[in-house]
Amino acid sequence: MERTYIMVKPDGVQRGLVGEIIKRFEQRGYQLMALELLHPTKEHLEEHYKDLAGKPFFPGLIEYMLSGPVVGMVWAGKEVVKIGRKMLGETNPLASLPGSIRGDFAIDVGRNICHGSDAVESAEREIALWFPRGVPEYKRDISVHGLIYE
């Protein structure tokens, strides 16, 4: 089953949007595999965003991400990486359509509420980084959109 790493950034936590973001993934039909509120270190955040080291906004991004706790989650389901990104919206909230999380709740690229993995490989790297003890699978025994997940 495809998995992605979704994180509510410090501004999303401060603004009380954790439940709203969880709700959207739940109602879409994705399965919650892991969830944790945590206070990451600078080194941890630099590792998470290592592909962006050297970008002009990198120091500001790390400072923003250190401004408070974050909520990390693993969600699983069909094409969850791509659909998760669609649900988040564009990196710049001003380019995000209403109906997306950023399009409904943000206007500043430097305060864009949430993170979502951009590819299956980066999702697996991020899940290993944020949930190093592993993410156990579990069977979901409810009907989702008329389908029973195996």
Instruction: List the catalytic residues.
Output: 115
Taking CB under 6 A as the binding criterion, the range among 28-36, 71-79, 105-113, 137-145 that sits at the site for ligand UDP is 105-113
96 binds ligand UDP (CB under 6 A): no
Span 117-136, contacts to ligand UDP by CB under 6 A? 118
The answer to whether residue 112 forms part of the interface with ligand UDP (CB under 6 A) is: yes
- Binding of ligand UDP at residue 47 (CB under 6 A)? no
Render 58-78 in DSSP notation, one character per residue.
HHHHHHHHTSS-EEEEEEEST
CB 113 within 8 A of CB 106: yes
Contact partner, 94, from Mg ion, ligand UDP, none, Cβ < 5-8 Å per class: none
134-139 CB contacts, 8 Å cutoff, 24+ apart: 135/3, 135/33, 135/34, 135/74, 136/33, 137/1, 137/33, 138/33
Instruction: Tell me which residues touch Mg ion (CB under 5 A).
Output: 118
6 binds, among Mg ion, ligand UDP, none (CB under 5 to 8 A by kind): none
